[in-house]
Each structure stands twice: as structure tokens, then as C-alpha cells.
Amino acid sequence: MKISTVEYAGTVVKSDGPIPGDLPQVAFSGRSNVGKSSLINTLLRRHRSKIARVSSTPGKTQALNFYRVNDRFFLLDLPGFGYARVPKAMRNQWRGLIEGYLARDVDLRGVVHLVDARHDPTPQDLQMLDFLAQLGMPTLVVLTKIDKLKRNQRARSIARAAERLGVDAEQLLPFSSKSGEGRDELLGAIEDLLTAESDA
């Protein structure tokens, strides 16, 4: 997939809020500070004029942000979850927003869930993946910040994540927003999600 056009399409602050169009959607989820905004900007090749806000303060994304890509699909940036400094009531509100949206009858083709390669998947990661499995939602797990690991650390990190998540290591996609590693593979996976539904 080649990225030709990207534009911000709108923000939804309630799980039942109106979606800004009828294009199919691919959602991106993950804990706060997992590098989601950086990944999205690398994926969409938005380096000079960043479209997803990158912040040193985790938990910056507090709503559902939609980006129209190639006039073909919406890339949906979900709020980061699990950040301890955010009040519990707000964390619960975000969780309700995320889970309420994911359970809606919308044209959501799949979810890309991000896990920091430097750390083991957290209980919140496992809860999210279990929730997606209950929905029967196609899900791809991406290991972010892979460039921050040495070669021997990298293999151990992938093996640990696969064991904790209960998946084969081949199902995990290493990604680096710095080097661009994994970008083409992730775009290919999104292409597969978009075409699989239309071929069904």
C-alpha cells in the first residue's frame, strides 16, 4: 500500500458518537507511552507535519481521532490506557469509550494493538486482547521501539511477548518509528484487512 493522502477527519468523544464518514476503519490501540503517535506518523510518512500528536506526557489522546487515508479508509487512533497519573475515573471513562466503540456495529476491519518491546505485556494488554478475541475482531500485535533493544535482547523480548500473549512469535510484528522497520509489513497487513472483508 502506498500512502498518497492523509487528512484529519474528526474526533469522537462518546462511544456512540457519529463517525465522520462511511469508510472502513482500522483502529490502533495500546498503553499510554507505547509510541502510538510516533508509529502512526511513521506509518503515514508524516514527519515534517505530524498528524498524530506526539507528546512527552502520556495519555494525551483522550478521544477517538479519525484520519482519512487515501480516501479509502479511516485510521482510528484510540486513547492510550493504563497511565497511572491519570485519575482512575478518567481511566475508566477512556476504557468505556474504547470498549463501547469497539463493540459497536461499525465497519471496523481490525485492530492493531501496540506493545512496548522493552517490557513484558501488561495485564491491561492481556485484557484488551481478550476483549478483542471475545468480539472476534482481527487483531495484529506490533512490538514498538524495537530499535532500542540489542540483538540478543530483541530475540528474548519477542519470545517473552509471544509466551505471555499466547501467540506464535511469527504473529508479532517488530516496529521502529526511528528506522522505519516494520512499516511495509504493517501497511501490507492493513491492506489484507481491507481487502479480506471486501472479498468475503
This prediction's pTM: 0.87
Residue in the structure block whose three cell numbers are 498503553: 31
Asked if the structure places residue 163 within a domain, the reply is yes
Q: What is the CATH number for 67?
A: 3.40.50.300
Asked if the structure places residue 168 within a domain, the reply is yes
Asked if the structure places residue 198 within a domain, the reply is no
Asked if the structure places residue 150 within a domain, the reply is yes
Q: How confident is the model at residue 165 (pLDDT cuts 50, 70, 90)?
A: very high
CB atoms within 10 A of CB 21: 13
Domain count, the chain: 1
Asked if the structure places residue 1 within a domain, the reply is no
Q: What's 122's DSSP letter?
A: P
Asked if the structure places residue 195 within a domain, the reply is no
53 and 61 Cβ atoms separated by less than 8 Å: yes
| Mean of per-residue pLDDT scores for the chain | 85
192 and 149 Cβ atoms separated by less than 8 Å: no
Asked if the structure places residue 128 within a domain, the reply is yes
C-alpha grid cell, residue 76: 482510528
Whether pLDDT at 63 is above 90: no
Q: How confident is the model at residue 49 (pLDDT cuts 50, 70, 90)?
A: low
Asked if the structure places residue 199 within a domain, the reply is no
